[in-house]
Structures are given as C-alpha cells and as structure tokens.
Amino acid sequence: MKYITKYKSPNYNLRNNSKIQLIIIHYTALKDTLDAISYLCNKEKKVSSHYLISQNGTIYNLVKDKFRAWHAGQAFWQEIIDINSVSIGIELDYNPRGKNNKFSLKMIYSLKKLIFKLQKNYKINKNNVLAHSDIAPFRKKDPGKHFPWQSLSSSRLVMSFKKLKKNEVKIMEKWFNNNNLISKKQKIILALSLIGYDTREVHKNVKLYNKLIRAYKIRYLNREDITNSKSIYNTLIKHLFNFLLTKN
C-alpha cells in the first residue's frame, strides 16, 4: 500500500516492547484533511494517530507503527489501561457537523485495505478492531452511529455473529444461572466485561451504565433494534458466545 509520508507528527513515544493487539478507529471532527494534519502534527496538542484517511481515500502515515501514538486517551479494553502501547490508531476525515459528514466509499475502501494489512502484519484478532467509543464509552462517541460496521463485517475484517441454536442459548443461560446471575442487567454487565468493556463502575452508577449501553447499541444494533431493551440482551448473548469461540 502507498501512504503519504511527508507529514510527521512529533507526538509519540516508545511502545516499550508492547505487542500490537488492537486497531482503534476514530473520526477527526475537524474541518477537513489539512486541518486534521495540522492538528495531529501540532506538538502543543499532544495528540496523534498512526494513520489518517481522507474523504478521497488517501492514507497519511503520521506516526510509524513501531511507535506509540497518542490517540486513545484515558481508555480500557480487556483489563488493559494503556491502550496506546498496544494499538494502532486510525483517524478518518469525518465531522458529523461539517461538510465532510459522510463516510465516503473511497475512504472506507482504503480503511478496509489498511485494516487487512495491519491484521496480517500483526496477527490482530477480528474481535480487536474497535471504535474509540468501545474503549472510552463514557466520554467518546466516534466513529459514531453512521459508521458502516456492516461493510467491515461483510469483508470479514470484524466478527459477525452466528445465530445461536436453542441448545446454545440454554448453555449460556445455564452458565449465567450457575454464577448466580438473576437479573438481565447483571448478565449484560458480565457479558460486556468478558468481551472487554470497562464495567468497573457501572454496577453502582446508572449514568455510566447507560453510556456504556448506548456505546454498545450504536456499535452492534441496527436502528430498528436500538430502542428495544430485549434486542441488546439477545445480541449480547450471541456476541459473547461467538467471542468465546473466536477469542484466540
């Protein structure tokens, strides 16, 4: 793949031999690609990403993969709190309130090619291609509700959920019951935790719980199901079952 490499961000440091495990997708929420380059390459901003993809599909490599770019901020996934050390950050030239408020076909085509290459190079699991809102659900929404996750799923870059058989649903329910989980909320929290989400404070904080649920719904539920409380539970059961089968 060809990248534009003439722009370099000074905002990085060493990974300290941490293995690259995650790909994190962001949007810039800025005016355009040049504005994003200026921001991500500004030493005073102390923010960067490894890659930036423009509306026309051009890929800018701002920080080399071997370095730790500063894109995730305060985040959490599968008990890891230093997400920057184990991840590749990809920014998309998209602003939900700007003229660049579409995920163009060229942009998504380039994104899929880049993800495929990164997965191959670093043996990154499909479960570990994540939204910024997955790793920071209490403060981030990007890449947002219009991001075409289904396109990535169709290209087999992220996990798609196999429909569960009745006996498989019973296995999951029995497992929950054996762990003394009675309410749906308890089951939902455990499922989210096992998948990787930060559930450390949601048991006692309704506001954080609702933010976490919203982040999950935007990522995994379609628009018809997003207000249906039963749909999130059913989706999570499928997600957890498929996750456990494809964990390694």
Q: Residue 244: CB partners within 8 Å, gap ≥ 6?
A: 194
Measured CA distances, 48 to 30, 32, 59, 72 (Å): 14, 16, 15, 9
Integer angstrom CA distances of residue 235 from 151, 223, 225, 229: 18, 13, 10, 10
Q: Which residues contact 25 (CB under 8 A, 6 or more apart)?
A: 90, 92, 111, 129, 130, 131, 132, 142, 143, 147
Q: What phi and psi, each to the nearest 5 degrees, are found at residue 55? A: -60, -30
Tokens of 160: 């798609």
Q: What is the largest CA-CA distance in the chain?
A: 57
Helix, strand, coil percentages for the chain (3-state, nearest 5)? 40, 10, 50
Active-site residue, 91 included: yes
N- to C-terminal Cα separation, the chain:
27
Cβ atoms of 100 and 55 within 8 Å: the answer is yes
Q: Which of 91, 168, 173, 201 is catalytic?
A: 91
As annotated, the active-site residues are 91
